[in-house]
Amino acid sequence: MKILVINGPNLNMLGIREKNIYGTGTYEDLKVLVTETCNQNNIEVELFQSNHEGALVDRIQGAYFEGIAGIVINPAAYTHTSIAILDALKAVDIPTVEVHLSDINKREDFRQISYAGQACVKTIAGKGFKGYEEAILFLKDVAKEEQK
């Protein structure tokens, strides 16, 4: 099983930006957690981060042709603005879990709208880095169910 973990704009600045909201863990720390979680569960993983909407759309579309079994996506600010990411997720029809480090439902009104989430089988918000671990394990269970 192979999954793709996609992170959107400014997530490469974790540990630097708004520590009171996103914590002190760095993007490198997040990559280690994701890689270790996948290794412990016999899951192959690719991590992808971009600050560019088109690059995120291109990577989602590419997943379709690569046999990716599931996607974990934190579209970051594009969560609230990108119909293009929503359409890409709908087009590939790969089980996708949306993850947010903070609880977007308890933040500014505009952050409570998730376009990408409309194409996802689950949304996990407000659990910090652990949300990624939960998403990975959820996709592992989804893949097991699909094999039955």
Residues classed as catalytic:
22, 100
Nearest to 75 by CA among 39, 25, 125: 125
| Rounded Cα gap, residues 71 and 2, in angstroms | 9
**Residue 56: both structure tokens together:** 């995120």
User: Within 13 Å and on the Cβ side, how many CA atoms surround 138?
Assistant: 18
Write out the H or E segment, with its range, that includes residue 97: strand 96-100
Distance CA 36, CA 120 (A): 24
Q: Which two tokens stand for residue 94?
A: 């790969």
Residue 76, phi then psi, degrees to nearest 5:
55, -135
| Measured CA angle at 112 (ends 102, 9), to 5 deg | 60
